[in-house]
């Protein structure tokens, strides 16, 4: 199948290829990936692979079905995204009603963008659908941060992480994030930490990659913590993960990167 970010995700794409070719399509998936990845486009490549009738498992990109998916007007696909900051109970009720209707083709497909903004009520309601998915329906959740989803939802979905510019830039940002995380947890003075991140405050892609890296570093620390091999306090690490999340949200909502980053550094350094 053809995908965006093809080179960075060759293993994942091979897996998705096989899922379709072997007809092992599950009822629910979570695609997790940073804000700068077009996760919807990625999911739609997978959906075209599922629905396109030319060569099993191929998303030809030319047929009527592929074209409808590309234009967001395929009759069997239900799109949900956050309105006013969150996905609400009512959105899920509406989706469940639509899922009760028969698809024109073989299956109904639901795509939930920003799924980590679902209210707890909405999540609990969605859980019912995940427990008893109607017919051959497929539900795809797109997430920036899977941590915001209740465990019961996570455990009912096949989870994949989408990488992006997997190349040098990402590695560089990841190393930088690891270094900054260490500096912060070792209580290095604010001006030193700020100096370290000053040069990445320019481009939004780089900032997103840095925040991504920072979150992964902190999450790994939590995992290490449970194995008893981290010296840092659990509360500190969890607070830091939340602070990173806040910075991402602020940037997404249009707050200036410089402000959001400074705010972040003050919070996690304090
Ligand atoms: Zn096609």
In this prediction the pTM is: 0.66
- Cα of 23 to ligand 1 centre, how many Å? 17
- Cα of 99 to ligand 1 centre, how many Å? 23
**Residue 1, domain member (yes or no):** no
Q: Quick one: pLDDT at residue 231?
A: 66
Give 111's strand partners. Answer: 79, 140
Q: Quick one: pLDDT at residue 158?
A: 93
Does 135 lie in the same domain as 240?
Answer: no
- Cα of 43 to ligand 1 centre, how many Å? 15
**Residue 246, domain member (yes or no):** yes
Q: Would you place residue 227 in the very low, low, confident or very high pLDDT band (cuts 50, 70, 90)?
A: low
Range of the domain at 181: 168-269
Does 172 lie in the same domain as 45?
Answer: no
- Cα of 47 to ligand 1 centre, how many Å? 10
Task: From 130, 161, 192, give the residue that closes a domain.
Answer: 161
Task: From 161, 186, 216, give the residue that closes a domain.
Answer: 161
Nearest to 240 by CA among 212, 260, 269: 269
Does 245 lie in the same domain as 119?
Answer: no
Does 144 lie in the same domain as 20?
Answer: yes
Q: Angle, to 10 degrees, between the axis of helix 120-131 and the axis of helix 89-100?
A: 20
Q: Quick one: pLDDT at residue 84?
A: 83
Does 24 lie in the same domain as 157?
Answer: yes
Instruction: Give me the torsion for CA of 205, 217, 180, 227, rounded to 10°.
Output: 180
Starting at the edge strand found earlier in the chain, the sheet holding 158-161 runs 77-80, 109-112, 138-143, 28-32, 158-161
- Looking at the chain, the whole-number percentage of residues with pLDDT higher than 70 is 92
Q: What is the pLDDT of residues 53-62, one digit of tens each?
A: 887 778 898 9
Mean pLDDT estimate for the chain: 86
Does 143 lie in the same domain as 88?
Answer: yes
Interval 213-221 mean pLDDT? 82
């Amino acid at each position: 199948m053809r995908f965006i970010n093809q080179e960075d995700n060759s293993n994942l794409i091979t897996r998705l290829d096989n899922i379709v070719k072997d007809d092992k399509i599950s009822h629910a998936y979570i695609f997790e990936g940073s804000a700068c990845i077009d996760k919807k486009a990625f999911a739609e490549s997978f959906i075209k692979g599922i629905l396109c009738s030319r060569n099993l498992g191929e998303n030809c990109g030319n047929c009527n079905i592929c074209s409808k998916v590309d234009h967001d007007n395929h009759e069997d696909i239900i799109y949900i995204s956050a309105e006013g900051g969150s996905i609400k109970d009512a959105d899920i009720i509406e989706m469940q009603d639509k899922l009760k209707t028969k698809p024109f083709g073989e299956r109904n497909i639901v795509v939930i963008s920003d799924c980590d903004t679902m209210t707890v009520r909405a999540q609990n309601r969605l859980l019912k659908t995940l427990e008893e998915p109607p017919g051959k329906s497929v539900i795809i959740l797109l997430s920036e941060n899977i941590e915001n989803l209740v465990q019961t939802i996570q455990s009912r979905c096949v989870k994949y992480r989408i990488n992006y510019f997997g190349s040098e830039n990402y590695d560089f940002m990841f190393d930088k994030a690891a270094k900054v995380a260490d500096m912060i947890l070792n209580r290095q003075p604010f001006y030193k930490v700020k100096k370290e991140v000053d040069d990445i405050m320019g481009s939004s892609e780089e900032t997103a990659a840095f925040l991504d890296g920072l979150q992964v570093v902190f999450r790994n620390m939590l995992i290490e913590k449970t194995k008893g091999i981290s010296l840092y306090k659990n509360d500190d690490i969890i607070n830091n993960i939340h602070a990173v999340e806040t910075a991402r949200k602020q940037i997404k909502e249009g707050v200036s990167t410089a402000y959001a980053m400074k705010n972040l550094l003050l919070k996690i350094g304090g």
